[in-house]
Amino acid sequence: MSDHATLRMGLPKGRMYEGVTTLLRDAGIPVAVGGRGYRPTVGLEDTEVKLLKPQNIVEMLANGSRDVGFAGADWVAELDLDLVEVLDTGLDPVRLVAAAPTWDLVDGLLPDRPLVVASEYEGLTRSWVARRRIDARVVRSYGATEVFPPEDADCIVDNTATGGTLAANGLTVVDELLRSSTRLYASRAAWERPAWRARIEDLALVLGSVLEARRRVMIEVNVVASCLDAVVAILPCMREPTVCRLHGDAGFAVKAAVLRSELARLIPQVRSLGGSDLVVTDISQLVP
């Protein structure tokens, strides 16, 4: 491996771009695209960035020309590459599914005859066909796979977020191959280099702090002494709530970082137990 001084990062073009750059920005790492649109600048010292298709990012990580990058787990699986998964951002979640025209299914299953299966994911599709013992010929597609049936394919393997596009084209999911999301990957060579590994782990730490903060809010409530234990007992938090005595011994202020999804349940409960002056605020970053 060349002893280069600059960390080489790959950012994904297409649907992943906005989610990744917003995550970086919220972590205090702005991305600016200038005149050279494929080589943006990023708010990290000694870091060189290139915009690439996700499948190219993972290939370049595997061959060592990129050190770190964002891509979907589906392409790592498709290309069967040995990379280090550093962080699952959970962004852009999709399912890789097999789907066929609804009218051609028999009791929800593929017809028992030789089939043509179209997919961009040729490797995963061939493995699925072999695993399911389907008599099929796999055809490589180059986008818009959902339009192949019924004239050009009996079945497709494609990723889907909501299933809306499949349904709009008269397709029904018959099997799920895997689930994918945007992940931060490192090359093996970079991960084995202590200085680069430390930088990549620091990047994952600050990105992870944003992702954790998005899941939580800070809840603050005032309680009298007689209600304190009951309110603290129902507040889920990362460790223990912060409790401070109010001026003039008027009670206590309780603060806890709670899951946003718990708010609808927690707020009425806190009020019923005597909590007052309740404030809920967003958190920008949270490091456990």
Q: Specify the CATH number for the domain of residue 205.
A: 3.40.190.10
Q: Is residue 1 part of a domain?
A: no
Q: Is residue 2 part of a domain?
A: no
Q: For residue 187, what are the CA distances in angstroms to 73, 110, 190, 194, 288?
A: 14, 39, 5, 13, 27
Q: Is residue 288 part of a domain?
A: no
What is the model's pLDDT at position 36? 63
What is the model's pLDDT at position 8? 95
The last residue of a domain, from among 213, 234, 255: 213
What is the model's pLDDT at position 35? 61
What is the model's pLDDT at position 3? 62
- Please tell me whether residues 186 and 152 are part of one structural domain: no
- Please tell me whether residues 132 and 159 are part of one structural domain: yes
What is the model's pLDDT at position 250? 85
- Please tell me whether residues 86 and 143 are part of one structural domain: no
Nearest to 7 by CA among 215, 249, 195: 195
Would you put residue 262 in left (φ > 0), alpha (ψ -120 to 50) or beta?
alpha
Split the chain (288 residues) into runs of 10 and give each run's mean pLDDT: 79 94 96 80 92 95 96 96 97 95 83 92 96 94 92 94 91 94 97 94 96 94 92 82 88 92 93 92 90
CA dist 185 and 178 (Å) reads 18
Q: Is residue 18 part of a domain?
A: yes
Which domain covers residue 24, as residue numbers?
7-91+181-213
